[in-house]
Structure 1
Amino acid sequence: MAAFTAQDVKALREKTGCGMMDCKKALVQADGDMDKAIDFLREQGLAKQAKKASRIAAEGVAYATTSDDNSVGVVIEVNAETDFVAKNDSFMEFVKACAATVIEQNPADVEALLALQATGSDKTVAELLQEKVLTIGENIQIRRFERMEGACVAYVHAGGKIGVLVNFNTDLTAKPEFVAYGKDVAMQIAALNTPYLTRDDVPAEVIDHEKEVMRQQVINEGKPEAIADKIVMGKINKYYKENCLVDQEFVKDNKLTVAQYTKNTAKELGGNIDIVKFVRFEKGEGIEKRQDDFAAEVASMVK
């Protein structure tokens, strides 16, 4: 029997959405290797996608904002123990103070941020954090942030479940129509969890890996090997359209791609717009909040 645990079966199930028995079989076939097990499930047509993000469990908020002139932006995640805290005005004041401090003082990392005097306060961010822990009664942690300079648009989804910051190269920042366009792009990123901006941003090893998986999937479906590569190229084009922002169908008008929507908006406003980069933070992604009884449910399957 391959060396893997009930927790491995659970993790594979969460990453692929496949049934427990299929996940166990895949781990057996892959000799306990998680990535190979995901590939096996995909090749068999059992897993429609292989996302490696862990189950979201931590609470708090993902928050994004910009300076008044939209020339600097920040997206930040601050975690707490319960979702109730995110609705606390005092907690949100602290989050906004952290974001303002990042915008104005440009710390290198979370440790540097904690040492700074908070914007609008005579105390350091670390001192404010300790105050919030004492008054709110929960463990609170600043997990991460990213700061950008240039034309920025921020978007916060579902009261802090997702924060998105998009950076543009444009001469249209003063126009409210540009900000509306930027929010549309940010909402697209929030909704579809887009991993890449353009095709050039997809690492070569990712494409090579996708081709290998897709080719085996095509062969498993009974297609002749002689035409497998041609079919795979079609699937790769589809992969680009699903995973690269500028190639995606625009969610508000699926007759346009995001690139076409951008070009049309720039033309209407009489300027230029290029999407430079973006960051999407989802509250608690990759953090396991607590263990449940699922492991006990499947423990007997891997003995």
Structure 2
Amino acid sequence: MAAITAALIKQVREDTGAGMMDVKKALVEAEGDVARAKEIIRAKGIQAAGKREGRSATEGTIASTVVDGAQGQTGYAIEVNSETDFVAKTPKFVEFADSVLALAVKAGAHTVEELLAAPAEEGTVNEMVEEASALFGEHVKLGRFARVEGPKVEIYAHKRSAEMPPSIVAMVATDEAGSAVAHEAALQISALGAKWLKREDVPADIVDSERRVATEKSQAEGKPEKIIPKIVEGRLNAFFKENVLLEQEYVKDPSRSVGDLFTKVGGKALSFARLEVGKSDE
């Protein structure tokens, strides 16, 4: 019996597109005979992971956790996608998502790319995800990944229904004082999905674009030229109010902004992230 080496497994994987564990099993059954292993894979109808990749995977869940460290806390969240909500709500899929999250924490990952390259029990996380596609019989992939850090991190996980796992996760990092209103901020982020923390964070090219649109719109409406600058500034402020977290109206009391919540407790919001299942391509 030929030794089942990593090179042998790689060769059969490249030739068949099958997952690593399926290839291993086939090689063991074929006693190391590559040609026979390929026949076994074909006979068992093992679908190549590559064939699944073209299929839409917009369901799934978001696994999240807060980890304590010497400098404060770190929040991690990872979107794990499946093709159907039927698979997404199974305990095995939720367990798989949690195992991917644990590997992200262990690796101290900052990006999806770093996570996919991180070591798993066998091979890498990327190979683990490929194996999951074979296990669940659907295209399984990792979507967005988020990490926030600060003295305190708050997470709010929202479920669309009781039987489904979380489909939206909002994380916010604050200083110690800001933690008093962090939960309210996380609820706000989940509900309204701000894009930036403060207006200074909005890229200059986006501000310029919004200013041009507001100017052209005002001109098209026939507004007097002398008052157009004031109208433009008003429309820009409305844009910030909609998209900047600290300037948004607080959902529970529109007379106040989210920034007012932090001002009242003498605290600060440092960063935030929001992940929603199926929104990875936005």
Question: What TM-score do you get using the length of structure 1 for normalisation?
Answer: 0.64
Contact 2:178 2:269 (C-alpha < 8 Å) held by counterparts:
no
CA distance in 1, matches of 2:128, 2:75: 22
Choose 1 or 2 for highest CA Rg: 2
CA distance in 2, matches of 1:234, 1:144: 34
**Displacement after TM superposition at 1:183 (Å):** 2.4
Match of 2:170 among 150, 158, 164: 164
Aligned to 1:155: 156
Q: Residues 110 and 208 of structure 1: is their aligned pair in 2 closer, same or farther, counting only changes over 3 Å?
A: closer
Contact 2:185 2:258 (C-alpha < 8 Å) held by counterparts:
yes
**Displacement after TM superposition at 1:277 (Å):** 0.9
- Higher relative contact order (Cα pairs below 8 Å, separated by 6+ residues): 1
Aligned to 1:241: 241
Q: How many residues align?
A: 219
**Displacement after TM superposition at 1:144 (Å):** 3.2
| 2:249 paired with 1:255 | no
**Displacement after TM superposition at 1:165 (Å):** 1.7
CA distance in 1, matches of 2:86, 2:153: 30
- Amino acid corresponding to residue 140 of structure 1 in structure 2: V
Contact 1:156 1:162 (C-alpha < 8 Å) held by counterparts:
yes
| 2:79 paired with 1:77 | yes
Contact 2:122 2:128 (C-alpha < 8 Å) held by counterparts:
no
CA distance in 1, matches of 2:257, 2:127: 47
Aligned to 1:133: 133
Correspondence 1:61-76 to 2 at 5 A = 61-67=61-67, 71-76=73-78
- Amino acid corresponding to residue 257 of structure 1 in structure 2: S
CA RMSD of aligned residues (A): 2.7
**Displacement after TM superposition at 1:80 (Å):** 1.1
CA distance in 2, matches of 1:215, 1:98: 48
CA distance in 1, matches of 2:96, 2:224: 61
CA distance in 1, matches of 2:274, 2:93: 21
CA distance in 1, matches of 2:119, 2:57: 31
Moved more, 205-214 or 68-77: 68-77
Correspondence 1:75-114 to 2 at 5 A = 75-114=77-116
Aligned to 1:278: 272
Deviations 1:79-138 (A, max 9, x none): 1111222201111111112112222321354344345455xx678534543443233211
Contact 1:63 1:162 (C-alpha < 8 Å) held by counterparts:
no
Deviations 1:17-43 (A, max 9, x none): xxxxxxxxxxxxxxxxxxxxxxxxxxx
SS in 2 for 1:71: strand
Q: Residues 136 and 201 of structure 1: is their aligned pair in 2 closer, same or farther, counting only changes over 3 Å?
A: same
Contact 1:64 1:155 (C-alpha < 8 Å) held by counterparts:
no
SS in 2 for 1:60: strand
CA distance in 2, matches of 1:57, 1:141: 7
Aligned to 2:59: 59
**Displacement after TM superposition at 1:149 (Å):** 2.9
- In structure 2, the gaps of 5 or more residues are 1-55, 160-164
- In structure 1, the gaps of 5 or more residues are 1-55, 267-271, 289-303
Aligned to 2:3: none
SS in 2 for 1:273: coil
CA distance in 1, matches of 2:213, 2:109: 42
CA distance in 2, matches of 1:152, 1:128: 29
Correspondence 1:185-224 to 2 at 5 A = 185-224=185-224
Contact 1:66 1:152 (C-alpha < 8 Å) held by counterparts:
yes
Contact 2:215 2:232 (C-alpha < 8 Å) held by counterparts:
yes
Contact 2:147 2:273 (C-alpha < 8 Å) held by counterparts:
no
**Displacement after TM superposition at 1:192 (Å):** 1.2
SS in 1 for 2:148: strand
Deviations 1:237-260 (A, max 9, x none): 222222211111111111211111
- Amino acid corresponding to residue 89 of structure 2 in structure 1: K
- Matched-pair identity in %: 37
Deviations 1:157-194 (A, max 9, x none): 22432222211122576xxxx3xx32221121121121
**Displacement after TM superposition at 1:74 (Å):** 0.6
Question: What TM-score do you get using the length of structure 2 for normalisation?
Answer: 0.69
Contact 1:75 1:147 (C-alpha < 8 Å) held by counterparts:
yes
CA distance in 2, matches of 1:115, 1:187: 33
